[in-house]
Amino acid sequence: MIRRRNRVIYGISGIAVAIMFLLLAARAPLLFAQANERVLGVIEVIPEFVGFYEDLEGRTEVPVLLPTEVPLPEHLNEFFASATFAQQERYTVDLEAVEGCGGAGACTFGSMSGEVLTDQTPKLEEMYAPEMETLVNPGDRPISSDPLGPVELVDGLEGYFIPWMATAQCSESKVYWVQEGFRYRVGIECADKEDVVELANSVIRNEPIAEP
Work out the mean pLDDT of the chain and round it to a whole number. 84
**pLDDT surpasses 90 at 13:** no
Q: Give the C-alpha separation, 58 to 181, whole Å.
A: 19
pLDDT in tens, 160-176: 999 999 877 889 999 99
Q: 189 pLDDT exceeds 90?
A: yes
Q: Which residues pair with 162 in a beta bridge?
A: 174
pLDDT digit string (tens) for 83-112?
999 999 999 999 999 999 988 888 999 999
User: What is the structure's pLDDT at 66?
Assistant: 98
Task: Give SS3 for 187.
Answer: strand
- Between 34 and 113, name the one with better pLDDT: 113
Task: Collect all residues with Cβ–Cβ distance below 8 Å to 95 and sequence separation of at least 6.
Answer: 70, 79, 80, 81, 108, 109, 110, 111, 112, 188
CA distance 180 to 199: 19
The pTM of the whole model exceeds 0.85: no
Q: Note whether 38 and 207 are within 8 A (CB).
A: yes
How far apart (Å, rounded) are the C-alpha atoms in residues 94 and 113?
A: 9
Residue 142 main-chain phi, psi, to 5 deg: -65, 135
Dump pLDDT digits (tens) for 53-86.
999 999 999 999 999 999 999 889 999 999 999 9
Task: Report pLDDT for 33.
Answer: 40
pLDDT confidence band for 3 (50 / 70 / 90): very low
Q: Count the alpha carbons within 13 Å of 200 in the hemisphere toward its beta carbon.
A: 33
What CA–CA distance (Å, rounded) separates 168 from 80? 24
